[in-house]
Amino acid sequence: DSGVTQTPKHLITATGQRVTLRCSPRSGDLSVYWYQQSLDQGLQFLIHYYNGEERAKGNILERFSAQQFPDLHSELNLSSLELGDSALYFCASSVEEGKSSYNSPLHFGNGTRLTVT
Amino acid sequence: AQKITQTQPGMFVQEKEAVTLDCTYDTSDPSYGLFWYKQPSSGEMIFLIYQGSYDQQNATEGRYSLNFQKARKSANLVISASQLGDSAMYFCAMREYDYNTDKLIFGTGTRLQVFP
């Protein structure tokens, strides 16, 4: 058990809808990262938050947004869903960020499997 | 930009044998860490082992060891005494830093199948 909790485990929704994925990082971890894993794109970095502040954006669509709350949990909001958004969405956490943490692994949750029909 | 390359899309190994999964990387940063993750068919990403660029010895964690060859920029994962439960996707990864970036970059993965 990595200590990172993601809910829900599975989500099935229709095109055009909006969903929210939730993540609770490991106790003490200030950094939260979101990744998308699809069959054709592999593991794609979406966004990184540290202690409530957005730090970096990757290949995140404008229809997607995220935030990290004062209690450090994070939510990823996906709107106007398309069939191509079907994927496994991972949240990961790390105790630190930046160059000093180059030897710190990211600890991943079990993911939310999103199916858009 | 940093890059991770895994050239083996799939590997087969017999139970109780050892197997090596290849990973090469590219970075100009002298400080870096390399990580291996396992993803079983159930989907979760499990951290296995890490090697720091300044580490003098190869990392080991139980049946997992990392064959780190810095000059060749390779960090191969060795699994000894393979078990059926080792069947999974394996990803090599590196933490990447830039002025405004901090993320883990992944290779494309190797699917390992262990047969009896």
Q: Of A48, A103, A105, which has the smallest distance from its Cβ to B103's Cβ?
A: A48
Which residue of B25, B42, B45 is the best one to mutate when testing the A interface, meaning the one whose CB has the most A CBs within 10 A? B45
Find the Cα–Cα–Cα–Cα dihedral B1, B2, B8, B9, rounded to 10°.
-60
Chain A within 8 Å of B9 (Cβ-Cβ)? no
- Amino acid symbol at B114: V
Chain A within 8 Å of B108 (Cβ-Cβ)? yes
Cβ distance A99 to B31 less than 8 Å, yes or no, reads: yes
Give the gap in angstroms from C-alpha A52 to the nearest C-alpha of chain B.
15
What is the pLDDT, as a whole number, of residue B57?
92
Q: Which residues of B touch A88 (CB under 8 A)?
A: 43
For A49-72, the pLDDT digits (tens) are 989 999 889 989 999 999 999 999
The per-residue pLDDT of chain B, averaged, comes to 93
What is the pLDDT, as a whole number, of residue B69?
95
DSSP state of A99: G
Contact A35, B45 (CB under 8 A): no
What residue of B is the nearest CA neighbor of A94?
A: B103
- B96 falls in which pLDDT band (50, 70, 90)? confident
φ and ψ of A52, to 5 deg: 95, -10
Chain A within 8 Å of B106 (Cβ-Cβ)? yes
Going by C-beta distance under 8 Å and a sequence separation of 6 or more, which residues neighbour residue A50?
A30, A31, A32, A68, A97
Which 3 state secondary structure label does DSSP give A90? Answer: strand
Going by C-beta distance under 8 Å and a sequence separation of 6 or more, which residues neighbour residue A9?
A110, A111, A112, A113
DSSP state of B102: E
What residue of A is the nearest CA neighbor of B100?
A: A56
What residue of B is the nearest CA neighbor of A32?
A: B103
Interatomic CA distance for residues A59 and A105, integer angstroms: 21
Which candidate, B99, B37, B95, places its Cα nearest to that of A33? B95
For B42-51, the pLDDT digits (tens) are 999 999 999 9
Q: Which residues of B touch A89 (CB under 8 A)?
A: none
Interatomic CA distance for residues A11 and A61, integer angstroms: 19
Which H or E run contains B50? strand B46-52
What is the pLDDT, as a whole number, of residue A87?
96
